[in-house]
Structure 1
Amino acid sequence: MTKFKLRQSDPARILIRGANWVGDAIMTTPVIRAVRKNFPEAEIFILVKPWVAPVFHNNPFVDSVLIYDDSGRHKKGWGTIRLAKDLRQYNFDLTVLMQNAFEAALITFLAGIPERLGYNTDGRALLLNRCIKLDPKLKRVHLIDYYRGILKGGGLYDDGGTLDLFISDHEKQKAEKTLQDNGIDILKPVIAINPGATGGTAKRWFPNRFAKLSAKLAEHFGVKVLIFGGPGDNTLGEQISGLSGDVCVNLAGKTNLAQAFALIERCSLFITNDSGLMHAAAALGINQVAIIGSTNHITTPPANTNSRIVRVPVHCSPCMKPECRYEHHQCMDKISVDMVFKEAVAMMENSNP
């Protein structure tokens, strides 16, 4: 692929179209870091949906975060045209599309961005003048490497697959206060569970098992167990807390995403379903045990070396469905409390020899 044509007199402007989900967005961070290293003098912008923006707010490789307001100003239809018009005023030289949708290519085409780099997915090849033919093998490797394939396809330097997630000092201070306010002894291990997951119940281990696990962990380590989750997980957190014998502190729905990141950074151990927060813990290098059922343990597991996967292979997994189509949920039912507890204790023992 020939060299990208970027302006020389003023700093070039690059737009990265970010992924739409928190976990996916975190897994694109190696590409964003590499784009900065390929174009150190450029101004780099990233366009994302509002709920993903905190992933990039403190990222030193991004100059500005632009919001794709798809429920308001940029709502599908005329809002798509309005977004393209909004982007046109920035006079971008190059766009790098992390998202695979036709719409992503259409918007940047309509925005008049001369260099448009991305995979030839979703019938959008004619809209990309820097079109990369997707190698089917990339569908069978970790999603981080799938995204890094965009760099290779564009003839750009690849800076490796290490994830980035940056926490501000302000959020770190707030995290410390949250722990203190909830009676968490920071001289002991800070242990947390994340029982929720977006996209249906198939990815979720059972609440009663999270409760039993929390009780065992609390007794073994002499601590309270934090419960993480989004706004829709507060009731789930209360249910687990009650079933556990009230050994938990339910933070589900009580923090924003940036605050959740800062609290995860303080954890000694994070036990989670496959979720965006699982990838946040991976980016922050936190000891974690990931409970994997319906999703692909090859393409989207936690990427940190200090993580363990608890998984029992069954004939229908990974199904990638939001709900169990057979209603038996065997991929999760076969994962016992003792299996997860054993991995959790081993992880803590290995990290504190």
Structure 2
Amino acid sequence: MGGGGEPGIRQLADRERRAGACAGEARPFAAGGFRFRAGRGRGKLSAVMKADAVRPPVRVLIVKLSSLGDLFHALPAVHNLKTGLGARVDWVTQPEYVELVRCFTDVERVFAFPRRGWPRGLRPFLAELRRESYDYVIDLQGLLKSALVAFLARGRRRIGPSYRREGAGWFYTSAAAPRDRRRHAVEQALDVVGHLRLEPVGVKFPVKFPERRLTEPRPRVALLPLSRWASKNWPLPSFVEVGQRLRQRRGASMFILGGPADKDCGVELQRALGGGAVNLAGKLSLVETGALLKQMDLVIANDSGPIHMAAAVGTPVLAIFGPTDPRRTGPYGPRHRVLTASLPCQPCFRRNCRRLGLPCLANVRPEEVLAAAEQMLEAGTAPG
């Protein structure tokens, strides 16, 4: 949390804890099929077997503040909650993602977490959350900031992941999901809501973007050459070579996508590809990007948030992974492919590689990416 924000929310949390202690408040929490209640005096615990695994709640609040890919990883879990409990589901996220989360069809209301304007913006934000009287507040982030939001919302039960960090577990009434960092992030989120013993409904990504009509001929291929980590970026000349070959051999319409910080790279890539490539880097909102990705036949990208957006709308993704682990954060589902050099040092999760020339990415050859891209286009896995 940036600026002077974190001390403010910590102080409010401390005040909430002290108020509960002074009032002799009994706070229920659940674990392992039992309901426990902490009482006064010696603080003895009594356990009563629950009659049912869970009572259908009236309201559920999801706390998932960021980042782009992580929001999409949470969608199947939210869908399982929505269908399994028949409840209203609301969501807290950072301001830059509010319009995007409004496209998630299982979500009723979206709250913008006030990252700036402390402490003035915090009190009305918390007042809004508390008016909803949530039965369950589920933190799918597992960090101190998100756990504090869950705690201060005053839900009846607060559930968070067992793999939480930064002391977040102090603010939950229940910790859920196995501590298996090898599981995909989508499955980890499903594990958390699985604590409520819901019937599995299958992995679905309920999201609806506005329709966007394109006149460019198929196949349409989107290139996303940059990510937030320099160590995750496949060399730009390799993107150029693959793009040129797909245009020559397949007559592909090329689209260049990226965020505001990627504008210069987009211009450079468009110039190298020659006339006809559509450069939209830094020109689209997240919602507009989602609508465009839905119209693509293939996305070729590094490990970055938009690959999960594309996967959610059913567009095949060809992802190139270097320092990160595709088992955990690769595009989810059978329609996608991940290429990696499979070096002994992978995955290292380093933002700055200690080895010269980023060998984990440089060793993924353009010819290999081109062959995979052509196979995916020929397979007819593209939407529409």
SS of 1:351's equivalent in the other structure is coil
Q: Which residue of 1 aligns with 2:13?
A: none
Q: Which residue of 2 aligns with 1:131?
A: 175
Please report how far the alpha carbon of residue 282 of structure 1 lies from its aligned counterpart in structure 2 after TM superposition.
1.1
Quick check: 80-89 or 256-265, which moved more?
80-89
Q: Which residue of 2 aligns with 1:309?
A: 338
Match of 2:363 among 324, 334, 337: 334
**TM-score using structure 2 length:** 0.80
Preserved contact between residue 341 and residue 364 of structure 2 (Cα < 8 Å): yes
Preserved contact between residue 230 and residue 352 of structure 2 (Cα < 8 Å): yes
Please report how far the alpha carbon of residue 19 of structure 1 lies from its aligned counterpart in structure 2 after TM superposition.
4.5
**TM-score using structure 1 length:** 0.87
Deviations 1:246-291 (A, max 9, x none): 4421111111111111111111111111111111111112122111
Q: Matches of 1:19 and 1:266 in 2, distance apart?
A: 27
Q: Which residue of 1 aligns with 2:104?
A: 59
Deviations 1:121-154 (A, max 9, x none): 232333211232x523x21111111111112223
Q: Matches of 2:139 and 2:346 in 1, distance apart?
A: 30
Aligned in 2, Cα 1:244/1:44: closer, same or farther, shift over 3 Å? same
Q: Matches of 1:352 and 1:314 in 2, distance apart?
A: 30
Match of 1:196 among 226, 232, 249: 226
SS of 2:327's equivalent in the other structure is coil
Q: Does residue 163 of structure 2 align to residue 118 of structure 1?
A: no
Amino acid at match of 2:96: W
Q: Which residue of 1 aligns with 2:5?
A: none
Q: Matches of 1:103 and 1:82 in 2, distance apart?
A: 17
Amino acid at match of 2:72: I
SS of 2:111's equivalent in the other structure is strand
Please report how far the alpha carbon of residue 81 of structure 1 lies from its aligned counterpart in structure 2 after TM superposition.
5.7
Preserved contact between residue 65 and residue 113 of structure 2 (Cα < 8 Å): no
Aligned positions, number: 330
Quick check: 322-331 or 154-163, which moved more?
154-163
Residues 1-353 of structure 1 correspond to what in structure 2 (within 5 A)? Answer: 1=33, 2=50, 3-4=53-54, 12-40=58-86, 42-70=87-115, 72-73=116-117, 75=118, 83-120=125-162, 121-122=164-165, 123-132=167-176, 134-136=177-179, 138-167=180-209, 171-172=210-211, 175-176=212-213, 179-180=214-215, 184-185=216-217, 188-198=218-228, 200-351=229-380
Amino acid at match of 1:89: R
Amino acid at match of 1:108: A
Preserved contact between residue 268 and residue 287 of structure 1 (Cα < 8 Å): yes
Aligned in 2, Cα 1:111/1:269: closer, same or farther, shift over 3 Å? closer
Deviations 1:289-318 (A, max 9, x none): 111111102111111322111111112211
Preserved contact between residue 26 and residue 164 of structure 1 (Cα < 8 Å): no
Please report how far the alpha carbon of residue 78 of structure 1 lies from its aligned counterpart in structure 2 after TM superposition.
6.9
Aligned in 2, Cα 1:78/1:314: closer, same or farther, shift over 3 Å? farther
Q: Matches of 1:64 and 1:163 in 2, distance apart?
A: 17
Deviations 1:169-215 (A, max 9, x none): xx21xx21xx34xxx23xx21111111212x1111111111111111
Preserved contact between residue 22 and residue 51 of structure 1 (Cα < 8 Å): no
Please report how far the alpha carbon of residue 110 of structure 1 lies from its aligned counterpart in structure 2 after TM superposition.
2.3
Preserved contact between residue 31 and residue 159 of structure 1 (Cα < 8 Å): no
Preserved contact between residue 138 and residue 150 of structure 2 (Cα < 8 Å): no
Aligned in 2, Cα 1:307/1:5: closer, same or farther, shift over 3 Å? closer
Q: Matches of 2:65 and 2:146 in 1, distance apart?
A: 10
Q: What value does the CA root-mean-square deviation take over the aligned residues?
A: 2.2
Q: Matches of 1:325 and 1:64 in 2, distance apart?
A: 45
Aligned in 2, Cα 1:19/1:327: closer, same or farther, shift over 3 Å? farther
Q: Matches of 1:228 and 1:52 in 2, distance apart?
A: 18
Q: Matches of 1:272 and 1:205 in 2, distance apart?
A: 8
Q: Matches of 2:65 and 2:206 in 1, distance apart?
A: 15
Preserved contact between residue 119 and residue 150 of structure 1 (Cα < 8 Å): yes
Preserved contact between residue 56 and residue 85 of structure 2 (Cα < 8 Å): no
Amino acid at match of 2:341: V
Q: Matches of 2:126 and 2:273 in 1, distance apart?
A: 51
Please report how far the alpha carbon of residue 28 of structure 1 lies from its aligned counterpart in structure 2 after TM superposition.
0.6
Preserved contact between residue 165 and residue 280 of structure 1 (Cα < 8 Å): no
Q: Matches of 2:336 and 2:168 in 1, distance apart?
A: 37
Aligned in 2, Cα 1:303/1:130: closer, same or farther, shift over 3 Å? same
Unaligned 5+ segments in structure 1 are none
Deviations 1:52-76 (A, max 9, x none): 3344213221111111131x24x5x
